[in-house]
Amino acid sequence: MPSVNRPPFIVGLTGGIGSGKSAAAEHFARLGAAVVDTDAIAHELTAAGGAAIPSLVAAFGPDILTPDGALDRAKMRALAFTDPAVKHRLEAILHPMIRQEADARCLAAADAPYVVLVVPLLIEAGEDYRRRCQRIAVVDCPEEIQIARVRARSGLDEDLIRRIMAQQASRAERLAAADHILDNGGDLARLYAQVEALDRLYRELARSAPP
């Protein structure tokens, strides 16, 4: 395994909503990679007592909290979609905190074979995350499959899902930025086989990376 003094080899994992990022990340973790998930970090920061809560209340008022003191994500999402200024303020609060925590977790995982940094908006973030990654892997599937998966898991209506997708990078933009593409238009067995092939590649790349 890499020395703890060696910078971690970081693979940025991204994909559109409903593409299957979580399924891919979970399989990378089962194979022994360290997984740092920026969505999970965001949930921790906005949970009751989370580090971002005071700044969010100061910016948007206490009405954006649930009764237990967590960020009301549905209410915040609705506000952000209807008001670009709200979206900008929300991102200005959360994104630096998420990046700081993600960096710390990646460094803490330097003794892992490699790190998978899961960033749903990696392409949209420009160089903020791309410069941290030695490789970028994109989980891809047709847009109609994305919509069907999101409707099945969350109950969101198709119009809202399409609005979310419209605010993300296009499928073509994600694919153009990818070093490796995981085709998740089929079943999980097919996705897992592709993850296993990339796991072997990333282990070799990490071993041969300069210190």
- Distance between CA atoms of residues 53 and 150, nearest Å: 27
What's at 139, amino acid-wise? V
Q: Which two tokens stand for residue 34?
A: 């360290």
20 known member of a binding site = yes
22 known member of a binding site = yes
- Distance between CA atoms of residues 134 and 88, nearest Å: 28
- Distance between CA atoms of residues 211 and 207, nearest Å: 10
Cα 75 to the center of its chain, rounded Å: 21
In terms of Cβ atoms closer than 10 Å to its own Cβ (0-12, 13-18, 19+), residue 92 is: exposed
Nearest C-alpha neighbor of 41 from the set 104, 107, 135: 104
Report the DSSP pairing between strands 135-140 and 10-14.
parallel
Query: Which residues participate in the annotated binding site for ATP?
Result: 18-23
Query: Which residues participate in the annotated binding site?
Result: 18-23
